[in-house]
Structure 1
């Protein structure tokens, strides 16, 4: 099967969770709201971090996280295709997921460069992502709520 999503994991600051599921279309849109990265980062611990004392997953668990995260993004690609969504060209974005300790997605923030995706494409992606986070989860659990982010290149 051809890969639909390429990703590079990055380490992130701390994050936390409430029971609301929310998709926010830009980091700026989230500023000054209950979904700001600063507020969420204070509640969710970083899944991975260069300082292992600040990371939820360390050692071999980091490789399991990478595999689970890649699987989640591949499921997202399938969800988009099944709903007739196409990118038209490779499209760069930045994802920021906030997970409950059981792997359910509490919040998803994303950011597209305006040259990568127009407002209509972003709005449709946001709508489909809101559906996706209701039914999909990361196949990893942790003792605390956690976050993970990465740049991503979406492809048809």
Structure 2
């Protein structure tokens, strides 16, 4: 597949997954604590929904908000961020305790201007993953999000949706 086709596919995903433009100068994250929330944790998820995060964070890959050069840098940073998540989970010796060969997670991550994680929402798609493992994964992501940032700074807060598949060793 050509680079242009890959870029186009990522652009379509980015545009359709996080459409709203942020409101001006509206920073809502508590800078002392990253919020990591499973969509399945209805109580916690309902607490952040009223924040209307999509209206405060621009879409990372929206071509209306970035040049082609910035887009390439953003795509590289996004890919590297997910590689770092995967490596962190492995370093924590996290065990999904399911027979599935891969674990699919859909996520939406909200970043500060400096690239730190403000909010990290996710949904584990594998039905075999227990609620206890989902909670344990949330704790690992919390630990990761407090230590690691995406290698990308912007003039405004930004967000990105995505899907990642972890190999289940």
TM-score grouping bracket, smaller chain normalisation: 0.7 to 0.9
Instruction: Identify the match of residue 13 of structure 1 among 8, 19, 28.
Output: 19
Pair 1:107 & 2:107 matched: no
Pair 1:79 & 2:88 matched: yes
Query: Counterpart of 1:22?
Result: 35
Change in 2 beyond 3 A, CA 1:128/1:37:
farther
Pair 1:130 & 2:142 matched: yes
Structure showing greater radius of gyration is 2
8 A Cα contact 1:27 1:36, kept in partner: no
Within a 5 Å distance, the mapping from 1:32-71 to structure 2 comes to 32-33=46-47, 35-36=48-49, 39-49=52-62, 52-53=63-64, 55=65, 57-71=66-80
Change in 2 beyond 3 A, CA 1:58/1:37:
farther
Q: CA deviation at 1:32?
A: 3.5
What's the secondary structure of 1:48's corresponding residue? coil
Alpha-carbon RMSD across the aligned residues, in angstroms, is 2.3
Q: CA deviation at 1:102?
A: 0.5
8 A Cα contact 1:91 1:116, kept in partner: no
Change in 2 beyond 3 A, CA 1:142/1:98:
same
CA-to-partner distance for each residue in 1:42-97, whole Å, 9 max, x for gaps? 11111122xx33x3x33121111111111111111111111111345201110100
**Higher relative contact order (Cα pairs below 8 Å, separated by 6+ residues):** 1
Q: Greater helix share, 1 or 2?
A: 2
Change in 2 beyond 3 A, CA 1:132/1:92:
same
Q: Paired residues, what number?
A: 144
Q: CA deviation at 1:154?
A: 1.3
Superposed structure 1 runs of 4+ greater than 3 Å apart: 14-17
Query: Counterpart of 2:166?
Result: 154
> TM-score normalised to the size of structure 2?
0.75
